[in-house]
Structure 1
Amino acid sequence: MNIFYDVPSERWSHNEEDMQLYAGAANEEIPFKQDTQDQALFPITLFPGNRVLVVGILTSLDPKKESGIGGNLTLFQNLSQYLSNHGILAYVFTVESLLSNYMKGFIFSSQTNTWNEVKLPLPDIVYNRIPKRGFEASESFQELLSFFKEHRITLFNPHFLDKYLMYEALTEDGSLARHLPSTIDLSDPTQLADFLHFHKHIYLKPCKGSQGKGIYTLLEKPDGTLQFNSLKHQELYPDFSAFWEANKASLKKRGYLAQRAVIPKKLNGHRYDYRILVHYENGFYKVTGKGVRMSQTQEITTHTPRGGKLFPYQQLQTRPLNRKLANIAQRCGIILSRKFGFLGEFSIDIGEDTSGALFIYEVNSKPMQFDEEEIEASRLLHLKNLFIELTFPNHIRK
């Protein structure tokens, strides 16, 4: 079946006579129209109740971009086209457009390679891709959450995760405790000094950071001096007091945690981490992609924006490793969804020490795109299936 959009009138219609068709959370009727010539055509799948499934990809405005749309436009384009190819009406929208008098969003045109603003039904489900943490703390975002609740719109992943709050939540689970490096909130200098003296080598990470930005290591040497390393430079301090006095303002302002440094297993002289992608499916959290990132230019982090490179997971995988990653993913999904709200998709950065033990470094509720094409293909498939499952739980996928 097809639906059509008429630009001058900003109206949707369908071409099946004697059929009623509805779309989105408000169950808006899409009327029949006999003459649809020269109107934009969208093939759709008919779901129970003569419904069109409508997915909204939530982001924010960015005046610096030609389209005016913020966030990862490549991901939005790939996802919206994939969903459209499977008969799902998908569009990108912003808080401003939803809270205006009528809903407008952006649909990608592969013919013109542009994002076109059109009038749209309210979404059944919202894929939260707000790119900045600060906006999720704003009054506008809270107003948006109230709107979703009032209109019974499913919110897919409520917000970014705070690293320290994540650590606290996961430590409550006995099966995951051994996979978590000792971590403290960096607020009390005396506690930090004791923590460093006990572990000798620690990481300092922003609680609300990502992609390896703002990460440091701190090493206490046998003579009591401290070596402070960033991704690009190194500083030496005669003692902890000198270090704290020089850095306390920046560390407190951004909000940091301190974490025991895991002695990593290395390949070809470089540390590596596992990156696993996880999706909810029929009551379980399933690993849907596995990658490896290896450091190159520095040994603090393996993130590719910080100089890391891809390494084939197949060269490291074993059945026990696959099983351990699957167990970690399942427990993380259950615990974090219970604590912070439903997570339908997330990724986990997992390190391996010299003994083969696995350690959770970070859980990302808004995973970046993976460079591995097969992982991204799996992601699109599982997102599509999950959008259907959450909106039409009794629908049998074909």
Structure 2
Amino acid sequence: MKANQAGPLIGIMSARKSNGSIAGNGPLFIALQKKLISLDGISFVFTPEDVDTDHITGYTYSPDKNHWVKEIFPYPNLVYNRVPFRKSEQNQQYQRLFSILKEKNIPFFNPCFIDKFELYELLKTHPFLQTFLPQTILIQQKKDLITFLQKQISIYLKPAQSSKGKGIFRLKLMGSSKVQLEGIYLQEIYKTFNHFWENWGKELLEKNYLAQEEITSAEYEGNRFDFRILAHADEGKYILTGIGIRQSQEQGITTHIPSGGRLLPYELLHSKEHDQFIETIIPYIGRALSDRFGYFGEFSIDAGVSKTGQYYIYEVNSKPMSFDEHEIEEKKIEQLCRLFFQLSNFQI
């Protein structure tokens, strides 16, 4: 198949919605196809249900016609995992496809979504990265959480398997017994921790919540900010693709833009210290993820700096969201296509 190919055939793996249509980041898929065509490659989007023993039925975007075309393809030179739902990735069809790809020696990335507590435990074993981790526990019983809250006074509650700031709360000890719970659209005060637990304990346990110490973040013009860092593999190394700043606005729970956060250019808060921290952690995180879960070609990092100048790693995301910064998105497309060529042994 490769002898008469100018560029690689890239399979982008996604999932179907309940109505049968294909889910996923359409604008990303279209941008990748346009870039690949300019490099004499081609891509198609498929789901595991579309896979046969010797071919895959998929959808390729036609820039000339400005719409998706259904076609039958041979197995691709590389598979890019953009499955948008955690549940889909865990079902048998997906796991079977991952096995087929390994048997056929077809490279693929990224292997999976990351569980937040698994990530914490992984980074905690790393001598260098562990210095940037906020204190964190998995909530397994009531007494663990009350002990942790009494020690930290103010903590974040996060579902171990979620993204985009969904389901995040801040829990504060007010005086000797009252506790305050704050969400993006919620604020409640409970007379005692026991009252809080009666209302929330079941959900915290069922959804595998973890508790994390609240960091007193550095501020810009009165509101806290975080770094959103995008990284890609390149020639066996991990390099920085782009940095954005996200700042909290009406609420201080999260800086995510869908929840009311604000975008700031990195240049506004740029410093040598920030650069050094970001560029140093990227290779360590990339290697740690790939050693533990399988090959990671890209990831994003949510990180921050405290008022005292201590840096923190909050989260690492295996399926980075789109960046609102146009130049970062453009560079992402370039880096991904370069990686597609490298991993499938084609020359750009």
| TM-score of Structure 1 vs Structure 2, range by shorter chain | over 0.9
Aligned length in residues: 348
Deviation at 1:113, TM superposition (A): 2.1
What is the alpha-carbon root mean square deviation over aligned residues?
1.5
CA contact (8 A) 2:55 2:75 kept: no
Helix, strand or coil for the counterpart of 1:342?
Answer: coil
Corresponding residue for residue 236 of structure 2: 283
Corresponding residue for residue 319 of structure 2: 366
Corresponding residue for residue 8 of structure 2: 53
Shift of the 95–396 alpha-carbon distance from structure 1 to 2, 3 Å rule, reads closer
Corresponding residue for residue 9 of structure 1: none
Read off the aligned partner of 2:137 and give its amino acid letter: I
Whole-angstrom CA distance in 2 between matches of 1:63 and 1:82: 30
Read off the aligned partner of 1:179 and give its amino acid letter: F
Corresponding residue for residue 116 of structure 2: 163
Whole-angstrom CA distance in 1 between matches of 2:18 and 2:33: 22
Deviation at 1:111, TM superposition (A): 2.7
Helix, strand or coil for the counterpart of 2:167?
Answer: coil
Helix, strand or coil for the counterpart of 1:277?
Answer: strand
Shift of the 183–102 alpha-carbon distance from structure 1 to 2, 3 Å rule, reads same
Deviation at 1:103, TM superposition (A): 1.4
Check if 1:273 corresponds to 2:226. Answer: yes
CA contact (8 A) 2:232 2:299 kept: yes
Deviation at 1:355, TM superposition (A): 1.1
Deviation at 1:190, TM superposition (A): 0.7
Question: What per-residue deviation string (whole Å, max 9, x for no partner) do you get for residues 292-346 of structure 1?
Answer: 1111121000001111111010111122211110111111111111111111100
Q: Which aligned pairs between 1:358-397 and structure 2 lie closer than 5 A?
A: 358-392=311-345, 397=348
- Percent of aligned pairs with the same amino acid: 38
Question: What per-residue deviation string (whole Å, max 9, x for no partner) do you get for residues 367-395 of structure 1?
Answer: 01111111011111111111111121xx6
Whole-angstrom CA distance in 2 between matches of 1:128 and 1:289: 21
Deviation at 1:99, TM superposition (A): 3.8
Helix, strand or coil for the counterpart of 2:132?
Answer: coil
Helix, strand or coil for the counterpart of 1:174?
Answer: coil
Read off the aligned partner of 2:223 and give its amino acid letter: H
Question: What per-residue deviation string (whole Å, max 9, x for no partner) do you get for residues 44-100 of structure 1?
Answer: 6x3xxxxx41111100123548xx211111111111111111111211111111147
Gap runs ≥5 in structure 1: 1-21, 24-28, 31-43, 47-51
Question: What per-residue deviation string (whole Å, max 9, x for no partner) do you get for residues 188-218 of structure 1?
Answer: 2111110000000000001000000000000
* Structure having greater relative contact order (Cα 8 Å, sep ≥ 6): 2
Please point out which of 210, 214, 228 is paired with 2:181: 228
Corresponding residue for residue 125 of structure 1: 78
Question: What per-residue deviation string (whole Å, max 9, x for no partner) do you get for residues 248-299 of structure 1?
Answer: 1111221110000001111111111100100111222101111111111210
CA contact (8 A) 2:173 2:180 kept: yes
Please point out which of 237, 245, 260 is paired with 1:292: 245
Whole-angstrom CA distance in 2 between matches of 1:396 and 1:70: 31
CA contact (8 A) 2:230 2:298 kept: yes
CA contact (8 A) 1:99 1:144 kept: no
Read off the aligned partner of 1:55 and give its amino acid letter: I
TM superposition score normalised by structure 2: 0.96
Gap runs ≥5 in structure 2: none
Whole-angstrom CA distance in 1 between matches of 2:177 and 2:333: 52
Corresponding residue for residue 138 of structure 1: 91
Read off the aligned partner of 2:184 and give its amino acid letter: L
Question: Which has the higher Rg, Structure 1 or Structure 2?
Answer: 1
Read off the aligned partner of 2:185 and give its amino acid letter: K
Please point out which of 323, 330, 338 is paired with 2:291: 338
Farther off after superposition, 161-170 or 326-335: 326-335
Q: Which aligned pairs between 1:19-168 and structure 2 lie closer than 5 A?
A: 22-23=1-2, 46=6, 52-62=7-17, 64=19, 68-99=21-52, 102-168=55-121
Deviation at 1:187, TM superposition (A): 1.0
Read off the aligned partner of 2:244 and give its amino acid letter: G
CA contact (8 A) 1:273 1:351 kept: yes
CA contact (8 A) 1:276 1:290 kept: yes
CA contact (8 A) 1:63 1:69 kept: no
CA contact (8 A) 2:54 2:74 kept: no
